[in-house]
Amino acid sequence: MDDIVEQQPAPAPSTSPPENRFILLPRHFNMALAEQAVHRARGRHLSVEEILKRNGFRQEDEDKGAAAPGAADAHRTRHADLNMQNLRLYVPSSVQAAMGLCLLDLKSGVLRIAVGDRFGVEEQERILQALKRGNCVVTRVEAEPWDRAELARLMREQTEVAGERLIRIFATLARDPDNGTLVEQAVHDILAEALQGRTSDIHLTLQEDDARCWIRYRVDGDVIYKHLIPNRVMAPIITRIKTDAKMDAADRQHPQDGRLSFEWQGRMIDIRCASLPVAPSGEKLTLRLLDRDNLRSFDELFSNAPTVAERLRRTLHGAVKDGGLIVVSGPTGSGKSTTLYGIIQEIDRSARAVYSVEAPVEYDMPLVDQTSVTDYSKNTIADMIRALMRHDPDIIIIGEMRDSDTVEAALRATESGHLVITTVHAVDALHVLDRMDGFLSSAYRTSGLYILGHALIGSLSQRLVKTVCPACHRKVRAAETYGDEARCQDIGVAPDDLLAVAERKGCDLCNHTGFLGRTLALEALFPPEDQASRRALTEMIVSNVTSSIVDIPGTIYIPREQSIRDLVRRRVIDAHMGASLLVEELAAKAGRR
């Protein structure tokens, strides 16, 4: 497809899955061709297929169905789509370098490998065995011949051991803290080490006391204390990061926000920076690493909840523009924004006008008009929602509803026939309705609740739960795990069922923690769509008896405890952790009744 030029007509969609893995229409190709011409004018050569992937078009269902027998098991396939960064967990960079190749990605069972002059059966078998150890399903291997120089550059990037070099750099900087070149290299290696370790946030603390100057990484929800360095080393590092993020490096008395970009493994990583003065006379800098390649797809997000996926997909692909509201809830750090972006990827953005209002914008999404609202903006989120009404939107994404003006503007947008997708802080799917009720002013409450009752399409509540390492976890009979049959019955498993138990000593793959990654423990509520049921729903919301909504005939309600039991049965999460979560969830719901 690299030979396609701008003047050529758009090709018709192929019906053969191996050649064309996308569900496409001619207009999608026309868009990709126009974008390809722009990139070529800038000296960058991208294939049409690459551009289509970047724009998030879905793959053929047949391609996804080509997995090996038994691939429907969620635990076996939840790591099926892996990028270069995650593939290194299974096949280390040193092993790839020794074989003279680089693993590019694993998508829908197809493993892409960049190879040089040599790549034989022995190398392929070695890679497949390593991936099999991590329960990755590979149905086909595509070896792509690369230019030697390009392959060597890619291998150098992969084999960089930033953490080892950081130790030496910190030691040198302690003697020469004004060495700008070393400070720049230290910042580069901190970011590279964090990305290699699947870090979501980097925390840097500057204090006069050297014993408090820590660099910490958040991985799978846990904060890891990584490097303790002297004040005289931390200070220039923070100054350099703030300068690159276009913040005032000299101001340590006021909170600041900034952004910077970092090129890593051939792609740009967007980094959101925030500084905060901390007592007694220090400063805290937090970096949020935003890697679009690590965003989870719609199918991956809801792989353990097919009913939820089907109901959302029906709404997102509906042909009738009659408005609606989808709300995702959960505590801070539960992945609400990630879920929003996963839902965005499922929308056909070439046929719909999609806008987002975020505070601030996290990921740059192709074919979405994104508006960023910060604390320093003159306009509020509600102002921007009202302004969007004059821009012919089909779908409006609101990063978070946090005040009465925003909730009112969102409800009025649904009343105008727009689909609104947003997030809110609430403890469960039913509490979302009470939360929105609490936001509404007394003057607008009755009208607002009436609109809410008729517009609500779905309420999702999510938590992130650690998943067991696929390589080192043990399989133990449920009766042996829980001790007696009554306990097994409470959990919802048979005594002879094999459950996953995390190996506390772990392995190299999971950094000796026993856990690798996180998954959603989801709760979902989808009210019925007929008018009689909607009237009953509205009356319950106005009367503040939302707990009775699940009893309305036709309501789809998936409680979180059901999701937890399912994750335990599928051996996705640790059996003991699942039992503890179940007890906590049932106790919390009993307390809210």
Query: Is residue 395 classed as helix, strand or coil in its secondary structure?
Result: strand
Residue 69 lies in a domain: no
Q: Cα 187–190–193 angle (5° rounding)?
A: 145
Contact in structure between 504 and 438 (CB atoms under 8 Å): no
Statement: residue 16 has pLDDT above 60: no
- 210 and 312, same structural domain? no
Task: List for the chain the helix, strand, coil content (%; round to 5).
Answer: 40, 25, 35
- Token pair in block for residue 537: 């729903």
* Burial per residue of 62-100, b for 16 or more beta-carbon CB atoms within 10 angstroms, e otherwise: ebbebbeeebeebbbbbbbbbbbbbbbbbbbbebbeebb
Q: Lowest mean pLDDT of 103-107, 135-139, 291-295, 306-310, name the range.
A: 291-295
Amino acid (1-letter code) at residue 414: T
Average confidence (pLDDT) over 310-325: 87
Q: What is the dihedral of CA 157, 159, 165, 166, to 10 degrees?
A: 70
Domain count, the chain: 5
Residue 25 lies in a domain: yes
Residue 381, CA distances (Å) to 279, 308, 333 in order:
32, 28, 21
- 149 and 190, same structural domain? no
Higher pLDDT, residue 552 or 20: 552
- 410 and 540, same structural domain? yes
* Sign of torsion over alpha carbons 328, 331, 337, 343: negative
Give the pLDDT confidence score for residue 85 in this predicted structure.
Answer: 65
Distance CA 178, CA 167 (A): 17
Residue 523 lies in a domain: yes
Statement: residue 215 has pLDDT above 70: yes
Give the pLDDT confidence score for residue 5 in this predicted structure.
Answer: 32
Residue 215 lies in a domain: yes
Report the CATH number that the domain containing residue 240 is assigned in CATH: 3.30.450.90
Amino acid (1-letter code) at residue 81: D
Residue from 292, 300, 294, 291 nearest 58 by CA:
300
Contact in structure between 559 and 577 (CB atoms under 8 Å): no
Average confidence (pLDDT) over 515-523: 89
Average confidence (pLDDT) over 308-327: 88
Domain boundary among 128, 159, 190: 159
Q: Which of 3-17, 52-66, 483-497 has the highest mean pLDDT?
A: 483-497
Residue 190 lies in a domain: yes
- 411 and 310, same structural domain? yes
- Grade residue 160 by pLDDT with cuts at 50, 70 and 90: low
- 495 and 537, same structural domain? no
- 140 and 220, same structural domain? no
- 545 and 446, same structural domain? yes
Q: Which CB contacts under 8 angstroms, 24+ apart, belong to 33-39?
A: 33/4, 33/6, 33/8, 34/6, 36/4, 36/6, 37/6
- Grade residue 217 by pLDDT with cuts at 50, 70 and 90: very high
Statement: residue 481 has pLDDT above 80: yes
In tens, the pLDDT along 412-443 reads: 999 988 999 999 999 899 999 999 999 999 99
Residue 128 lies in a domain: yes
- 130 and 87, same structural domain? yes
Residues facing residue 260 across a β-bridge: 271
Sequence-distant (≥ 6) Cβ neighbours of residue 98 within 8 angstroms: none
Give the pLDDT confidence score for residue 296 in this predicted structure.
Answer: 82
Report the CATH number that the domain containing residue 417 is assigned in CATH: 3.40.50.300
- 96 and 52, same structural domain? no
CB atoms within 10 A of CB 560: 23
Residue 326 lies in a domain: yes
In tens, the pLDDT along 340-373 reads: 999 998 998 888 999 999 988 888 888 999 998 8
Query: Is residue 259 classed as helix, strand or coil in its secondary structure?
Result: strand
Give the pLDDT confidence score for residue 292 in this predicted structure.
Answer: 79
- 173 and 98, same structural domain? no
- 100 and 234, same structural domain? no
In tens, the pLDDT along 171-192 reads: 999 999 999 999 999 999 999 8
Residue 71 lies in a domain: no
Give the pLDDT confidence score for residue 485 in this predicted structure.
Answer: 86
Beta strands across the sheet bearing 101-107: 82-83, 101-107, 110-115, 140-145
- 573 and 489, same structural domain? yes
105: domain range?
A: 77-159
Average pLDDT, the chain: 83
Q: Which CB contacts under 8 angstroms, 24+ apart, belong to 51-54?
A: 52/22, 52/24, 52/28, 54/366
Domain boundary among 293, 323, 350: 293
Domain boundary among 33, 64, 95: 64
Give the pLDDT confidence score for residue 126 in this predicted structure.
Answer: 84
In tens, the pLDDT along 369-420 reads: 999 887 667 889 999 999 999 999 999 999 999 899 999 999 999 998 899 9
